[in-house]
Amino acid sequence: THRSHADRPIGHVEKERMGAAAFFELAASLVCLGTWPALLEKARRPIDGDGRGERCYHICFLDYALSYGCCGLVVLLVASGGQRGALSLPLGTPGGAALCLVAAMGGYVLQTGNACLQKALQLGCPMTTLLPLQAALCVVIGTTANYCLQPDRSDPRLLFSGVFLYFLAILSSSSAQLRHQFDAGSDGGPKGSSTKYTKIEEGGLEAVAEPEDAGADARARRNRGLAIGAVGGVALGGFTPAFNISVNDQFGWSGGARLSVWGANMIFSLSFMAVAVFSQSRQLSAKHPGESAWEIARRRYWKSWGRGRAFAVAAGTLCGIANYLQFDGGKRAGFAAAFVVQAFPLVGTLWGVYLFGDYKGAKRATVALLGSTYVFYTAAALLIGLSAR
């Protein structure tokens, strides 16, 4: 006879609850991950009626990083319910300290990936090449490493079928960008010209047209930028496996005293914040060699506050929440299956279209490529989500 839900074994009911919680956490994380880059871009661009031009990218990123670190502390207090011992870390044993160090390494490699992207853009490597390269490396390395760490938590056939569809989505998205740029050049600019993000100036990422007769030095710089971008992609593929190890201790380092998700997230967030602040501060100092660190902090940072920078603070807060939800969902459903959130371009592209006018006036071929991108991302997310055991 059919048994009611209450008659099922407690373990089964608990698994259903964990699965439902993981689904909602990962879905919310996907939306937040697709939204925070739009907020950071909004912070960099001038507000209507503000004629001061674009804001400094480094200052906006400092706001983003500081708010991300603070969000890690707030999440710790909220998620733990303020219970006694929430701030305690297993530092009393070498194994416990090693887990804390691995969590900190996760934050370090995340910022390393961001810094490599910045440097590659400075060297003239186009965004349309960098983002697909980094996304592909991140998905392949991260998914494979997390599956190897937790092989019993995912169905490999569904998981890696989803990874293959991610590849197709990345290729389709890149093709749509390149096609739209070519169409725009054919209609309004010199045929075959391409707009590339070649440097980071005081105002942020500055788009300049690259002449077709760029010399060997420019090509060498782009190749170097591509190599640095690849290193960044490898780094981005390593931050979730590092978090996975810190909370699940697959190697038995701690002897039973594991980190909670919120405790590991706090270490991860503070590590990311510290490395990001150091990196962006150095770049600001390089831009203003005649000014001391105090003068830069006072004149360039504190006195440049405006309405737009609130968007950068919101971006850091939203990204902090998104990563925590991804980590907690990964703890419940398996970290490999949690890579379903890498479908966040589903949300990010919509923000780009409606907020910034991306793909404005796009032709049918570009729209068809964007449509196929959404199909591939949706199918990939479904397969990876269904791979959870």
pLDDT tens, 101-155? 999 999 999 999 988 988 888 887 777 678 888 888 999 999 999 999 999 999 9
| Positions of the chain with pLDDT lower than 50, given as ranges | 1-10, 49-51, 189-214
The predicted structure's pLDDT at residue 252: 85
Q: What is the pLDDT of residue 198?
A: 38
Question: Buried b / exposed e across 205-222, counting CB within 10 Å, b at 16+?
Answer: beeeeeeeeeeeeeeebb
Whole-model pTM? 0.83
